[in-house]
Amino acid sequence: MTSLLTRTSDGLQLDPDAALLEALTSPTLSLKKDSFRRRDAELDPLLLAAAAASGPNVTRNHYAHDFFPGVGLPKAEGAWDWSKWDGERVGAINQPKKFVYTSKQGPRSLRTREGKENSGFDSDFARSLQSAPVNVPTGKRDRASSRSVAVPSPARPPQSDITTPIKVTCMARTRIPTPHGIAFLHLYHNNRDSKEHLAIVVDPAQFSDDDPSSSVPSIRSHSLDAVWSDSETEMDRLTRGAYLGRLSPTSQTASSPEYQKDLHTHTSGLVPPPLVRIHSECFTGETIGSMRCDCGEQLDEAIRLMSQPVMIPSNLPAEPPRRIPGRGVVVYMRQEGRGIGLLSKIRAYNLQDLGHDTVTANLMLGHGADERGYEVAIAILQDLGIGSSTGEGVRLLTNNPDKVRAMETEGLKIAERVPMIPRSWKKRQEDADVISISGSVERKVGATMVGGDAVHGEDLEKYLRTKVLRMGHMLQLHGV
Ligand SMILES: Nc1nc2c(ncn2[C@@H]2O[C@H](COP(=O)(O)OP(=O)(O)OP(=O)(O)O)[C@@H](O)[C@H]2O)c(=O)[nH]1
């Protein structure tokens, strides 16, 4: 055993390491300045042991870091194959080991700018992003590149400064014919993140030449109808969608801020408040018809429900009820994978195939179960003139209690929560009714994308049950 005592000209002294240990572990800490030498080891053995002992992806911020480039090939990103570690590097038996700390993550400024979708960020890609022009359309630059499009200059201030008031700007709006009817797609920029969030406005009354009901306020964007610059032309306004009624070679009426002043925000009380859905992006469910989730059908169902005509009772007893076009808004937030990004969601799916549910898979990747925020969504609704604390409120389409709470906290007035029953569950009930009457049922096939039919499968069923059982979604489970 090595001695803890060293003989010096002053007699026997405690070894410095032992002295420090004694000082640190004594009941009263009394460390005199300069009484111990500096400890500048390149890598502290304790840190080394801790790194070796911890599992992959200790936190998201450690993701894609690499302490030991010499330890063979990685088993998986962020998880080295320690079975290949023999204590020495091949061909370097007598050379001192050189540990180099490297990181494949992009710089933090870039990672935060891109949200959380950057685990395993490739540094070359990061560099290319850094050198690429940032997609910030200022009035000056757009005018230089295209004379026909004017945009407001403070359109895309630096992101993530939550001390400045939130600002959203509708950059463009256009008519989209959907299988359920006409919708107006609005594209927004904001000063909180660099994403292009969308609003799908269902309000066909705006499109119609005749005014079906003067008691129903149009759903229009204030920032779109505003004047963006003194030099803005009528063509600028038409191009970005600031027009009234139809846009065609023979119909071209640019809107004006004055139009907004005339819009009343209160209905007669007989017209139900607009249906609103805050929908989160889901590439897999909406674009390739994935049956791991119900996102595609929820988007489709929301637009379908909003497009249904509404019957409103008459004020006068002798008059029959009136039928007016449906109206509503889907705020489409680019919060893929409940805010963790597509890359992490894809990894989470593999963890789900390994037997974990959607919540646990997120946690295993170092994410929260749900990382979404709704501040920008509320600002978009306010820009569209709906959901303010003094107005008529909204009928919110959701089963998610956290979403309801978050929206109310952000100041949205919710007049009613409207449930979204999964089509396959609704269909099962309808089928059961049909079977009990006719004895058989014919099931149509289709994907859960826009205009699709009900589908069901093991993955979807597991996901839906997890939403109810672990995320508290307000749905009645079958067989429970
Ligand atoms: N991380 C993760 N995200 C998922 C998964 N499946 C769907 N998503 C994402 O979940 C979001 C939709 O959330 P849901 O929980 O289905 O619905 P919700 O918006 O919370 O609640 P509702 O309003 O009732 O529909 C989309 O961003 C999807 O990309 C999954 O397995 N893992």
Identify which of 371, 294, 361 has the alpha carbon closest to the alpha carbon of residue 340.
371
CA of 447 to the centre of ligand 1 (A): 18
* Residue 188: count of CB within 10 angstroms of its CB: 27
Which atom of ligand 1 lies closest to the CA of 277? 23
Are 97 and 147 within one domain?
no
Tokens 């209690």 belong to residue: 401
pLDDT at 5: 63
End-to-end CA distance of the chain: 67
The pick from 282, 350, 396, 399 for probing ligand 1's pocket by mutation, whose C-beta has the most ligand atoms within 8 angstroms, reads: 282
Asked whether 473 lines ligand 1 (CB < 6 A), one says yes
Are 149 and 116 within one domain?
no
Cα–Cα distance, 368 to 348 (Å, whole number):
12
Are 145 and 96 within one domain?
no
Determine, yes or no, domain membership for 33: no
- Tell me if 279 sits within 8 A of 330, measured CB to CB: yes
Cα–Cα distance, 268 to 419 (Å, whole number):
25
Identify which of 160, 149, 153, 151 has the alpha carbon closest to the alpha carbon of residue 194.
160
Are 127 and 250 within one domain?
no
Does the annotation count 370 as an active-site position?
yes
Are 117 and 148 within one domain?
no
442 CA to centre of own chain: 38
Question: Using the 8-state DSSP alphabet, how is residue 87 labeled?
Answer: S
Are 76 and 179 within one domain?
no
CA distances from 213 to 139, 218, 283, 396, 413 (A): 38, 10, 37, 23, 24
Which atom of ligand 1 lies closest to the CA of 335? 27
Question: Using the 8-state DSSP alphabet, how is residue 251 labeled?
Answer: E
pLDDT at 465: 86
- Tell me if 374 sits within 8 A of 410, measured CB to CB: yes
Determine, yes or no, domain membership for 350: no
The pick from 278, 293, 470 for probing ligand 1's pocket by mutation, whose C-beta has the most ligand atoms within 8 angstroms, reads: 293
What pLDDT, in 10s, does the model give residues 273-329? 999 999 999 999 998 888 899 999 899 999 999 999 998 887 777 788 888 899 999
pLDDT at 69: 44
CA of 285 to the centre of ligand 1 (A): 10
Are 327 and 181 within one domain?
yes
Tokens 């994308």 belong to residue: 449
- Tell me if 139 sits within 8 A of 150, measured CB to CB: yes
**For residue 181, what are the domain limits?**
139-335+372-471
pLDDT at 170: 98
Determine, yes or no, domain membership for 60: no
Cα–Cα distance, 197 to 376 (Å, whole number):
8
Please pick, among 225, 370, 417, 423, the residue that the annotation labels catalytic: 370
Determine, yes or no, domain membership for 210: yes
Question: Using the 8-state DSSP alphabet, how is residue 230 labeled?
Answer: T
Phi, psi of 252, rounded to the nearest 5 degrees: -145, 85
CA distances from 244 to 46, 148, 224, 247, 322 (A): 69, 19, 12, 8, 24
Lowest mean pLDDT among 39-48, 331-340, 463-472: 39-48
Asked whether 150 lines ligand 1 (CB < 6 A), one says no
Does the annotation count 334 as an active-site position?
no
Are 128 and 196 within one domain?
no
Residue 278 one-letter amino acid: I
Asked whether 306 lines ligand 1 (CB < 6 A), one says no
Asked if the model's pLDDT at residue 139 lies above 50, the reply is no
pLDDT band at 147 (very low <50, low <70, confident <90, very high): very low
- Tell me if 362 sits within 8 A of 348, measured CB to CB: yes
* Residue 17: count of CB within 10 angstroms of its CB: 12
Residue ending a domain, among 132, 158, 185, is: 132
Residue ending a domain, among 114, 132, 150, is: 132
Asked whether 169 lines ligand 1 (CB < 6 A), one says no
Structure tokens that stand for 419 in this block? 């449930």
Average pLDDT of the residues in 415-423: 90
Determine, yes or no, domain membership for 359: no
Are 313 and 413 within one domain?
yes
pLDDT band at 73 (very low <50, low <70, confident <90, very high): very low
Asked whether 455 lines ligand 1 (CB < 6 A), one says no
pTM: 0.67
Are 111 and 178 within one domain?
no
Residue ending a domain, among 132, 157, 180, is: 132
What pLDDT, in 10s, does the model give residues 341-362? 999 999 999 999 999 999 999 9
What pLDDT, in 10s, does the model give residues 77-131? 444 555 655 555 544 455 555 555 455 555 556 655 555 443 443 444 334 334 3
How many domains does one find in the chain?
2
Q: What is the CA radius of gyration of the chain?
A: 30
Selected residue with higher pLDDT from 427 and 114: 427
Cα–Cα distance, 159 to 468 (Å, whole number):
35
Please pick, among 347, 372, 417, 423, the residue that the annotation labels catalytic: 372
Are 123 and 149 within one domain?
no
Identify which of 302, 257, 261, 464 has the alpha carbon closest to the alpha carbon of residue 396.
302
Which atom of ligand 1 lies closest to the CA of 467? 15
Cα–Cα distance, 35 to 131 (Å, whole number):
49
245 CA to centre of own chain: 32
Asked if the model's pLDDT at residue 436 lies above 80, the reply is no
Question: Which CATH number goes with the domain that contains 248?
Answer: 3.40.50.10990
